[in-house]
Amino acid sequence: MSTTKTIDDQDPSVEYSAGWHVGTSTSAFDNTTSRASSAGLTASLNFTGIGIKVLGTIQAADVGPPPMSSYTIDSSPPQNFTGVQMPSSAQQKIMFFESTALPNRNHSLVVTSLKTGAALILDYFVVILENPASTTVSSSNVLSPTATTPSETSNPTDTSASTSSADTHSNALRALTITTTILGGMFILSLISFMILRYRRRRSAVWDDQSPTRSGRVLEINTHLNPQNLNDDARQYLNQK
């Protein structure tokens, strides 16, 4: 966290061009203010820090027009400010300007009054200083993520064990594939053999059903019959049937 340094408008480090007037107020910081009522009047402050604020007083609208001023740090472009007035009451310790993104080195601030007849009333300045403690903590935070903890250190033994486990798994998978292929081939061969055997049995059964002996179409002929009487005997046999 940064620290601040407050500089009163009447501090010797603040340099004013001719034409400024010193005022007093119990509501002001250190009870003093500096007033410029003409355009072009300047107030300068050299400071070292990372930022600065300028605070002052805005007089009531029934007293006069609002203040108009510009603020330049080093060689940067000026930033203008126009105060917003209350109808009949002055506003104390209003921030006219703020810059908090400066490098931590020496800087020069120039405040310029922009409108004649509009009172620019400065009260005090606040310089923002860089905190050395925060810088140290920041450096520690940057370095800490890169530190190697024991849990993050690689272990060659763990790597070898992982590799061995992977090889074992691969070998087991290969053996399972070969076994499955062999069993599948044996099953297919057994199925083909079964189908061939069944086909042969069914075919043999068909031939048996078509045999003349089973169909009863063969005539029993006595071998002792005279061949010359074969036809008559056969006819007589058929008539008896």
- In this prediction, residue 91 carries a pLDDT of 97
pLDDT tens for the chain, 241 residues: list them: 679 999 999 999 999 999 999 999 999 999 999 999 999 999 999 999 999 999 999 999 999 999 999 999 999 999 999 999 999 999 999 999 999 999 999 999 999 999 999 999 999 999 999 876 654 444 344 444 444 444 444 454 454 545 555 666 667 777 777 888 888 888 888 888 888 888 888 777 655 555 554 444 444 444 444 545 546 665 665 566 5
- In this prediction, residue 136 carries a pLDDT of 44
- In this prediction, residue 48 carries a pLDDT of 97
- In this prediction, residue 166 carries a pLDDT of 61
CB 94 within 8 A of CB 83: yes
CA dist 182 and 106 (Å) reads: 87
Domains of the chain: 2-130 (2.60.120.260)
- In this prediction, residue 94 carries a pLDDT of 98
Tell me whether strands 32-36 and 21-24 are parallel, antiparallel or unpaired: antiparallel
CB 57 within 8 A of CB 25: yes
**Neighbour-count burial of 66, counting CB atoms closer than 10 A to its CB (0-12 exposed, 13-18 middle, 19+ buried):** middle
CA dist 88 and 101 (Å) reads: 36
- In this prediction, residue 219 carries a pLDDT of 41
- In this prediction, residue 2 carries a pLDDT of 76
CB 20 within 8 A of CB 36: yes
- Token pair, residue 159, equals 């790597």
- In this prediction, residue 52 carries a pLDDT of 98
Name the pTM for this structure: 0.56
